[in-house]
Structure formats: structure tokens, C-alpha cells
Structure 1
Amino acid sequence: MENNKYKRMAKNAGMLYFRMLLTMAVALYTSRVILQTLGVEDFGIYNVVAGFVTMLGFLHGAMSSATQRFLAFELGQSGEKDVRGIFSMSMNIHILIAVIVLVVGETLGLWFVRTQMTIPIDRIFAAEWVFHLALLSFMVTIISVPYNALIIAHEQMSIFAAVSILDVILKLLIVFMLGWFGMDKLILYGLLSLTVVFIIFMVYRSYCKTKFTESKFRFYWNRRLFNTMLSYTGWNLWGNIAAVMGGQGVNILLNIFFGPTVNAARAIAMQVSAALNSFVQNLQVAINPQIIKSYAAKDMDYMHSLVCYGAKYNFFLLFFLSMPVLINIDLILQVWLGVVPEYTSIFIQLIIVNMLIDCVSAPLMTSAQATGKIKLYQTLVGGLLLLNLPFSYIVLRMGYEPYTVIYVNIILSVLALITRLCILKGLVSLPIYRYLKEVVGRGMVVSVMVGGLYYITYPYFIENLGFLLKSIVVCIYILSAIAVFGFSKVERLAILDKIKAMLYKMHH
């Protein structure tokens, strides 16, 4: 608890959580206003078209992971460092990727939007404009990746708190601005969203220019470094294609089979999951640089501890936050949105279950990335996740309901977790028994205990409670189960000591 590394991670996580609480509240309110302003159909069109643009960015996703890994690894090594060379090389590559995305998007992408998507005739023109604007926004996002990666590698998380607050405030402002102008609201929303993306990019760029000397871009070309990063990115690319196809690819399938209304339902479900998942991501973002740096310093015991504790706390945190949502989902949606698209509730419930499985894999992914030896990992895990698209197509073609695609995703997520563990055993000597005991075992026991308590007590008094009291009771169940079954004796003692220290400071 007193280790400086843990203190730094706790401080960074705290800053990210403060950011998230504020941004989540504004983002959820913004979603309600956008849905009511654009309408269900236009809301669905925007999400499926803009989502298709991000599907073109599998190159960006691969390079983003590569940039973060190489910068953090370089900072974690002792001796002479070449952070500026890595930054400049990654910037050159990202500019190249942005150009490729533009060319592919304005040719194949535009053809797909015009001919393959299910969009009402009178909204085709607006959808095309949204596509062009979303493509430009995505190009700006691609070029901003090296700056964001540099901030994460230096573990300067406070800037994310400040800029994210600015980001959500601007996004809320542009929603209200939709009523100020007479032009098509869908096109205007795309244009204003591009403006916000560009402003945020300039803020990050200015911060890096001021704080980090290595962020001064120069045309730098190191063939050996380029080949190393390209080789790493090449295998990483496979995993990113699988992730993108599993997300946006399935979204496009839902559009083809059911139309934009189902896309609207899924988009709302993804916003709820993103709000919940941001808690886990904040913890993971704070841990990731330390996992990579500990591997670079060959401190494997510390790395294994980060992986196991990180995965366990990811699960407990998400479980604690998601249970009140799961048991009150219909009421939450009615109060939040007013008009609730069909299938929204079941989409949210199944996506949360899938998130609970995936959240324990996040430290495993970072561990594999840290080694740089990702050929086997990306081949097997990426291959499994890529099956999401053909299997989803099969179940939809057979006439099943749209939410069955999430069942497919859940099964593949379980298989992917098992595969990751087997690969990490050989890659970083990960103690699988310790992981299964501390993460999977304790997580399952806590889940069963909470579920059992809720099921037993529901008919007696929980059924008649309001939203707030029902949520409080469930949270008490979860905290009690985590304290008794989720934590080891050492963890319980450490937490008690911390609480005693805090109480002592408050009274003295």
C-alpha cells in the first residue's frame, strides 16, 4: 500500500474517476437530448454511419496499441532512451494511415453506405454528409493518437480529467446548438461534432508541446524502428480487425436485417455499457503503463500481481456498478429517455454480462502487448473474435431476434479468455492457478452469493422497494460478499488499516 508505484496508480485512477463521474452524467443527459432532438430514426442513422467509419480504422487501432506500448517500454528501460524518435516515427505512420483511411472511405466506404445500408430514401443525402464529416473527424482522431499515447506513457492522467470535462461540455453545447440554425439537424450534428474533435486535438497537442520535449515533431525515418513497429502492428492488426468486425460489423448486420431503429436501440445500450465500462477503463489506464514498464524492467512478480489484482478489481467494480442497472433497467430507461426503442432493455442486460467477462481480460491483453511477441496471441484470440461476424449472420439469417448476436459474443468471449490464459502462461509465465483462484474463483463466488441473496429476499421485501432503496440493498449485498469472499485476509487487513488511518486523520 505504501509503495510509490501503487500510490501513483491510485492517484492517477482517482483523477480519472473524478473525470468520469462528471463526464458520464453529462454524456448520459446528452444522449437523451440527442435522441429527442434527432428522433429515433436519425439517431440510428448517425450511429450506424459514424460507426461504419470507425470500422475503417482497424489500422488506427493497431497503431494506437503499438505507439502506447513502444513509448511506455522505452520509458521503462534503464539507460539511454529514444522517446523522441519513437514519437516522430509513430506520427509519420499515423499521418500515412489517415490518408489511407480517407482514400478507402471515400471510395469503398461511400459505395457501401449508398448501396448496402438500410436507410430511408429521403435521408440518403444527409447520411452521406454524416459519412464525410465522420471520416474527417476520424482522421483527426488518428493523428492525435501519438499525443495521447505520450501522455499515458508519462502517466500524466490529470490532463485527461481536464480535457474530458471540456469535451463533454462542448458536446452538450452542440446538442443545444442544433436548434439555433435552420439546416438539417443530422448534417449539422456531424459538422459540430467534427469541430469538437478538432478543438480537443489542438488542446492535447498544445499540452504535449509545452510539457514534453520529445513531442516536437520532425520528419524522422528509422528503417529498423519502422520494421519493428510494422511487424508488431501487423499482428496487432489482426486482433483489431476482429474487434471492429465484432462491434461495428454486427451493427451493420443489424441495420441490413432490421433497419435503423434497432441500431438506435443498440447505440443506447452501447452508451450505457460505455458509461459503466469507463470505471474499469480508468483503473486499467492507470495500471497499463506499470505493467509494460515492469516487464521492461524484468520485474515479473510485480507484473503478475498487477495482472491478477487488476483483473479482480475490474470485475468487482463493474459488478458493483452494473447490478443496480440490471435490476432497475426498465425504470432507468423510461426516466432517462422517455421514448425507449424496442429491444433496448435486453441489449443492455446482455452487453453488461459480456462486459463482466471481458473486463477480467484487460490486464492479460496489456501483458501480451508488453512482450512485443504477439503473433500467436493475436492469431488465436483474433481468430476467435472474428467468428462473431459469420456466426451472428447465421443466427440472424435463421430468423432469430436481434439480441441473439450478443449470445454469440458471450460464448466467444469465454473461449477467448481461456485462450488468453493458455498463451500468457508461456509468454510471461503467468501463474494460471493464482489467476483462476483470485480472479475467476472469487468473482464467481461473489456473483453467486449476491444473486442468491437477491433471489431469496426479493419476494419478502425487495419487490416493494423503490429504485433507490432497492439499489442500496443490492449494493450492501455486493460489498458484504466482496469483503467476505472477494478479498484475501491480507487485503482485508490492508483496507482496514487504510480506513483506520483515514478516520484518525479526520479526528485529529
Structure 2
Amino acid sequence: MLESNHKRILRNTGMLYIRMLLAMVVGLYTTRVLLNVLGVEDFGIYFVVAGFVALLGFMQGALTTATQRYFAFDLGQNSGHNLRGLFNTSLQVHALLAVCIVMLAETAGYWFVSTRLNIPEGRLVAALLAYHLSVASFAVTVMTVPLTAMLMANERMGLFALMSMADLLLKLAAVLLLPYLVYDHLSMYAALLLVVSLLTLSGYLLINRAIFPGVRLQRGFDKKSFHSMLGFTAWNTWGNLAAALSEHGNNVLLNIFFGPAVNAGRSIATQANGALNQFVTNVQAAINPQIVKLYASGEREQMHKLALRAAKYNFFILLVLAMPVLLNPDKLLRLWLVEVPPYAAVFLQLTIVASLINSVSGPLMTSAQATGHIRLYHSVVGGILLLNVPLNYLLLSCGLPPETLLAVTIALAVVALVARLYIITPLIGLPVGLFLSRVVGKATLVALVAGIFAILTQAASSGSLLILFSNLITAMAVTLIAIWMLGLDKSERQYIVSLLKSLKARTPLI
């Protein structure tokens, strides 16, 4: 059973990686072009305005998790017999959420953006139009969630990857079209993204109608399912609000204390880090349905094995990609961008460190969601994450530099990880010592050894692309060796060797 799950996870991960590679190329190129077209100031304005919309929509993340959990749990426990009712309920809940978001965004949100954000004189009208369009785009995206959740819960990763790639190409087309439009570029970019959101929603609707003919929007109201989903979502909302405030609330603080240019630097760091994290996100997305289904079917020991391996592999995958960037941020940013915004390099390094700490938490959080008992977890961890904004406000008010904001984020990420361990491991019956020894201990050892040897093997680049490329390859190679020697046990190394031999045997000779 576990072997079959591994094969399915590998296949789904492979499909998501194809999507991810395109996402990385398109995303990095799009950012370069967009920064060049909008300029540092307008780029920073859009980042903080669109980020504020995402802050108002913190409930979307809660509903996304709840929807995927309910679909996957029903597939694991009841073979999907209740999917039609759950799908109908989730559409109703998301429609209600979309209306609430628009109302909140166009009242309190509009007041805050128009009166409290640091927007240069002469750009307020364009920024507010971009804000309204971003609100509409976000509402459309909320309605897409049940459709993507249905594909993910049924592990139809190929179709999900196909639609994601179509969405990326449409966004690329929007950026390439932007320089040829005569109207204000900031406003037109937000309008084009709204069109892309509508086209993406239409595509997901057509695919779901074709693949799941039994799942349709129907009349009626399932009060029990509605209340159950909302109850589960209520506690998820607290955790997602904390995460949203931690990310987008800090962007608002940077805007208030330092202005849009520093927002642009944070935006670049966030997007580059997001590209690296796509590797981990894809593995986690392929594993999530399996964790929930194993819990629902009562196979706890297999769920524990899968969660432990996933947590460790998440860290290792990100570390291999992050090590070259951590050692060469300035050179890579200059190679990528026409104009590098201030603080982008140090923001990128600190953001990656926070991501490495958080990378081991994904399987734990999915395991907690599978149990349905999330009140204590979200109460404590959400409270810890919410400390980001008040602590950063106090420190920045004392005149400390912008990078202080991310130093606080890293410290709280460590505290949140400890809280997750001592709350979730008893909930799922997993000994905390096992997680510390097999995941945290090995991850820390590999990171220290790989970091030391990677630093020692770096050569002075002196502006040479050849030496820079050599440094990147060396850092990745040293990290891979450390993972192989110190991070994997004997059975894991044997499995990887047998998998590589199997793939080689299937590859036709040219």
C-alpha cells in the first residue's frame, strides 16, 4: 500500500514539477519585465495595494484548506459518496465569502488604502483603481477554490498543472501587452489580471463538468455540512489571519516607515523565494491528499512514515536550491533584474532562512487538519504569528532598519515550530522525539555541514559569469553530498538507487 502511494506521489509530483518549471521561468521573466515597465515606485505601490487585498481575503486560505480536507477525507473514508453534497456546500460557502470580502474591502479597506498608505502624490487615483480591480480579481479567485480543491483531492494533478500553466501564460501575455497600452500601466495591469482570473475560472468550470459529471451545483441547502465546514473553517481562519497579518501586515509597516521603494525590494525577495518554494509546495501538494486519506482509513503508522519523510525531504529540497542563492544574492539579483530595488538582497537571504524553518511544518499541519481537531493548534500558533506586527511596529518605531522585520519573523518561526511539535504530535500519536531526531536533528546537521563546506569552496567571482556559475554548481553539489551522507538513512538511499535504476531501464536509447 505504502509503495503504491509513493509511486502515485512521485507521478503527481512529476506533473507538478513540469508546471513549476514553467512557473519559475515565466514568473522570473514577468517580474523583470514588470519592474522595468512600471518602475520601482509603481511596482512597490502595486505590491502593497494588491497585498492589502490578499490580507483582507485571509479567509480564502482557511476555506481552501477546509475544502480540500473535506473532499480528501470523504474519498478516504466513504470512497467519495458524499462529494456532490460537499461540493455544493463549498460553492455556497465560497460565494458567501466572496461577497463578504468585497464588502469589507470596499469599505474599511478602501478607507485604509486611501488615507493611511504611503502613496506618492499624483499616483493615488491610479493606485485606488488598481485596488478596486484587485478586489474584483480576488473575489473571482475565491470562487475558483472549490474547483481546484476537487482536482487536488482526486489527485488529478495533470489537469491542475495544465490549468496552472494556462493561467501563467495568460499572465505573461498580460505583462507583454502592457507596454503597448496608452492608459496608465499600473491600472491596466490590474485590469488585465482581472480578465485572466475570469478566464481561469471558466476553464476550471469546464474541466470539472467534463471530469466529474456527477458533481454539479444543485438547489438546496445542506445545513449540517454547511455548519460543519464553517465550524472547521472558523479555527482555520484564525491561523490564516495570523499568517496574512504576518506577511501583508509587515508590508504595510514597510510602506509606512520606509516608502514604496523598500516595498519593491521586499516584493522581489518574496517572489524569488516563492520560486524556490515551488519545489517544496509541489511535493507537499502531492502528499497532502495521501496524508488525509491514510488518517481517514485508520492507517496511522503509514501516515506517520509519510509525514516524517515529507518533512525531511521538504527541507532538503529547499536547501539544495537555497544554498547557492544564500551565498550569491547580489550577483543573482543583478543578473536577473535591470534595476535592483534597495534591501532586496538581504531581504531575500532572511526570507529564505524563514522558509527553511517553516518547510518542515507542512506535513504536521496537514496531519492536524486530517484529525479535524485544530482549535488548540490554531489558537496557539496563530497567536504566536500575530506577534509579528506589534513587535515589528515597536522595533521600527525605535528607528531600527528594515531588515529587523524579517529577523523577528525568523525568531517567531522557530517558536511556532516548537509549538506545532508539542501540540500536533500528541494529536496524531507521533512521538515528538521521533520527529526531533529524524527531521529536525538531521536537517540542522546537514544545513550546518553543507553551509560550512559551501562557503569554503566559493571562489571570488570578480564579475565573471563562468565563476559565478561554478560557485552555484559547487554549492548545490556540496549540499547534495551532505544530504546523501548525513540526511538519508540506508533504506532511503537504497530506495533512491533502485528508483534511479528503474528510471534508467525505462529510458529508451537514442
What range is the shorter-chain TM-score in? over 0.9
User: 2: distance between equivalents of 1:478 and 1:425?
Assistant: 29
Q: Structure 1: 5+ residue runs without aligned partners?
A: none
Structure 2 equivalent of residue 496 of structure 1: 497
Q: Does 1:222 align with 2:222?
A: yes
Structure 1 equivalent of residue 24 of structure 2: 24
Shift of residue 196 of structure 1? 0.7
Structure 1 equivalent of residue 343 of structure 2: 343
User: 2: distance between equivalents of 1:278 and 1:220?
Assistant: 39
Q: Deviations 1:82-102 (Å, cap 9, x if unpaired)?
A: 111011011001101111111
Structure 2 equivalent of residue 261 of structure 1: 261
Structure 2 equivalent of residue 87 of structure 1: 87
Structure 1 equivalent of residue 475 of structure 2: 474
User: 2: distance between equivalents of 1:242 and 1:461?
Assistant: 41
CA separation of 1:80 and 1:347: change in aligned 2, threshold 3 A: closer
User: 2: distance between equivalents of 1:234 and 1:484?
Assistant: 44
Shift of residue 160 of structure 1? 2.1
CA separation of 1:462 and 1:437: change in aligned 2, threshold 3 A: farther
Q: Deviations 1:351-403 (Å, cap 9, x if unpaired)?
A: 00000000100111101111111000000011111111111111111111111
Shift of residue 467 of structure 1? 1.3
CA separation of 1:179 and 1:228: change in aligned 2, threshold 3 A: same
Structure 2 equivalent of residue 362 of structure 1: 362
Corresponding letter in the other structure for 1:294? L
Query: Superposed, which structure 2 residues align to 1:66-85 within 5 Å?
Result: 66-78=66-78, 81-85=81-85
Contact 1:304 1:431 in 2 (8 A): no
CA separation of 1:42 and 1:213: change in aligned 2, threshold 3 A: same
SS in 2 for 1:216: coil
Q: Deviations 1:328-358 (Å, cap 9, x if unpaired)?
A: 2111111211211110000000000000000
What percentage of residue pairs aligned between the two structures are identical?
Answer: 45
Shift of residue 65 of structure 1? 1.0
Q: Does 1:164 align with 2:171?
A: no
Contact 2:459 2:467 in 1 (8 A): no
Structure 2 equivalent of residue 118 of structure 1: 118
Q: Structure 2: 5+ residue runs without aligned partners?
A: none
User: 1: distance between equivalents of 2:212 and 2:180?
Assistant: 40
Q: Deviations 1:293-329 (Å, cap 9, x if unpaired)?
A: 0110010011101110000000000000111112221
Contact 2:152 2:160 in 1 (8 A): no
Corresponding letter in the other structure for 1:488? D
Q: Deviations 1:256-314 (Å, cap 9, x if unpaired)?
A: 11111111111111100110111100000000000000110010011101110000000
User: 2: distance between equivalents of 1:245 and 1:375?
Assistant: 19
Shift of residue 431 of structure 1? 2.3
User: 2: distance between equivalents of 1:326 and 1:79?
Assistant: 45
Shift of residue 78 of structure 1? 3.5
Query: Superposed, which structure 2 residues align to 1:19-418 within 5 Å?
Result: 19-78=19-78, 81-418=81-418
User: 1: distance between equivalents of 2:222 and 2:504?
Assistant: 55
Corresponding letter in the other structure for 1:315? F
Contact 2:454 2:479 in 1 (8 A): no
Shift of residue 180 of structure 1? 2.2
Q: Deviations 1:177-217 (Å, cap 9, x if unpaired)?
A: 11222111111111001111111111111100110134311
CA separation of 1:459 and 1:53: change in aligned 2, threshold 3 A: closer
CA separation of 1:454 and 1:424: change in aligned 2, threshold 3 A: same
Query: Superposed, which structure 2 residues align to 1:426-441 within 5 Å?
Result: 426-441=426-441
User: 1: distance between equivalents of 2:176 and 2:259?
Assistant: 27
User: 2: distance between equivalents of 1:479 and 1:442?
Assistant: 14
CA separation of 1:403 and 1:214: change in aligned 2, threshold 3 A: farther
Contact 2:48 2:252 in 1 (8 A): yes
Corresponding letter in the other structure for 2:442? R
Q: Deviations 1:83-132 (Å, cap 9, x if unpaired)?
A: 11011011001101111111111111111111000001200000110010
Shift of residue 485 of structure 1? 0.6
User: 2: distance between equivalents of 1:471 and 1:245?
Assistant: 34
Shift of residue 436 of structure 1? 1.1
Structure 1 equivalent of residue 487 of structure 2: 486
- The alignment's TM-score, normalised by the length of structure 1, stands at 0.97
- The alignment's TM-score, normalised by the length of structure 2, stands at 0.97
Contact 2:71 2:153 in 1 (8 A): yes
User: 1: distance between equivalents of 2:246 and 2:156?
Assistant: 32
Greater mean alpha carbon deviation, residues 127-136 or residues 333-342: 333-342
User: 1: distance between equivalents of 2:360 and 2:178?
Assistant: 40
Contact 2:2 2:302 in 1 (8 A): no
SS in 2 for 1:215: coil
CA separation of 1:473 and 1:343: change in aligned 2, threshold 3 A: same
Greater mean alpha carbon deviation, residues 259-268 or residues 458-467: 458-467
CA separation of 1:13 and 1:102: change in aligned 2, threshold 3 A: same
CA separation of 1:44 and 1:214: change in aligned 2, threshold 3 A: farther
User: 2: distance between equivalents of 1:331 and 1:80?
Assistant: 51
CA separation of 1:269 and 1:80: change in aligned 2, threshold 3 A: closer
Corresponding letter in the other structure for 1:285? A
Contact 1:277 1:318 in 2 (8 A): yes
SS in 1 for 2:136: helix
Shift of residue 507 of structure 1? 7.8
Corresponding letter in the other structure for 1:50? A
Q: Deviations 1:125-153 (Å, cap 9, x if unpaired)?
A: 00110010000000000111110111111
Shift of residue 220 of structure 1? 3.1
User: 2: distance between equivalents of 1:82 and 1:223?
Assistant: 14
Q: Deviations 1:25-52 (Å, cap 9, x if unpaired)?
A: 0110010000000000000001100110
Shift of residue 462 of structure 1? 12
Contact 2:292 2:367 in 1 (8 A): yes
User: 2: distance between equivalents of 1:504 and 1:120?
Assistant: 61
User: 1: distance between equivalents of 2:64 and 2:376?
Assistant: 20
Shift of residue 231 of structure 1? 1.2
Greater mean alpha carbon deviation, residues 445-454 or residues 484-493: 445-454
User: 2: distance between equivalents of 1:332 and 1:416?
Assistant: 31
Shift of residue 506 of structure 1? 4.7
Count of aligned pairs: 508
Shift of residue 503 of structure 1? 3.6
Contact 2:461 2:467 in 1 (8 A): no
Contact 2:323 2:451 in 1 (8 A): no
SS in 1 for 2:182: coil
Shift of residue 497 of structure 1? 2.0
Corresponding letter in the other structure for 2:342? E
Corresponding letter in the other structure for 1:98? A
Shift of residue 448 of structure 1? 1.3
Contact 1:147 1:205 in 2 (8 A): yes
Contact 1:87 1:214 in 2 (8 A): no
